[in-house]
Amino acid sequence: MRGVTTPPFAGRGAIDLGALAAARQQQEKAAVAMASAPEGVVIDVDDDTFPTAVLDQSMTVPVIIDLWATWCGPCKQLSPILERLAAEAGGRWILAKIDVDASPRVAQAFQVQSVPSVFGVVKGQPLQMFQGAQPEAQIRLVIDEVLKLAAKEGVTGVVGGPAPQADEAQDEEPLDPRFAAAFDAVEAGDWAGAAQAYRLILDATPGDLDAQAGLAMVGLYQRSESAVLHPDAPVTDVDAQLALADDEALNLDWAGAFSRLVATVRATSGTERDRTRTRLLELFLIAGDDPAVAPARTALASALF
């Protein structure tokens, strides 16, 4: 089951404010939202409490799991966004935060390859959602899909009070149908359809960073399906280095991907250098708020000039 899934890419903001400032801003927003949130909307879970806190509660209330680690930079950006969205939802779903280092059995059960990793649980059944920090608009789309599935399964309970009435739910900001079309195509693995949907958005609003990142992300996943890796290829072998950088990006090793491509920019010229630079800029869009972006931009400027 592909599940409710989108490829990893982070939101905009790091280029202008810096990853640290962006993370602090999200933490402040989350703290404000949590002050008025029902008790039990955001919970810390470990190996021992997982069966009761997650599996049992998922029978009546959708549970979204944030698998994180203390050493993970993107986790510091994503977790506060999830906390704030959980608080704003008013108990319609529970956010269960799980430190993978402190809860190895849960991490193993979900076959966690990288963090952050986010899953939904409805009636005890896991739903793969996404990996890596994501733009808030994409996170809302994924959560909305989980809630729709939960409703079909009759899981519509609310933590800390009665379920919101239909007219209250209508107060939520409607989803942009253009992004919804792109998201549906990504969920189905229809890369051509997703790319077309993002291009339609960019035709109307060329400066839309979410659409730019989405289109770059689709290209990354499309390329990955036929990629052949040559780890020992020389730095001047642009095709090989681009494929290796894609693989590192898919594994959220942004620093490794950026360093590889900057080195290739330094070692090449002309068309080959332009290809490498273009790919690096695409990966910057996908990585978004990752702390590795800012130093890599500086290194790229040095390599070019």
Catalytic residues: 72, 75
Q: Which tokens is 57 given?
A: 């509660």
- List the one residue out of 58, 52, 135 whose CA is nearest residue 93: 58
Residue 204: left if φ>0, alpha if ψ -120 to 50, beta else—which one? alpha
CB half-sphere exposure, 170, CA atoms < 13 A: 3
Using only C-alpha atoms, what is the Rg of the chain?
20
| Token digits of residue 144 | 């909305």
Closest CA to 138 of 32, 12, 282: 12
Beta pairing class for 63-68 and 117-122: antiparallel
Q: How far is CA 151 from CA 18, 60, 92, 161, 265, in A?
A: 39, 10, 11, 17, 50
In the chain, the amino acid numbered 125 is Q
Distance CA 268, CA 248 (A): 21
The amino acid that residue 59 corresponds to is M
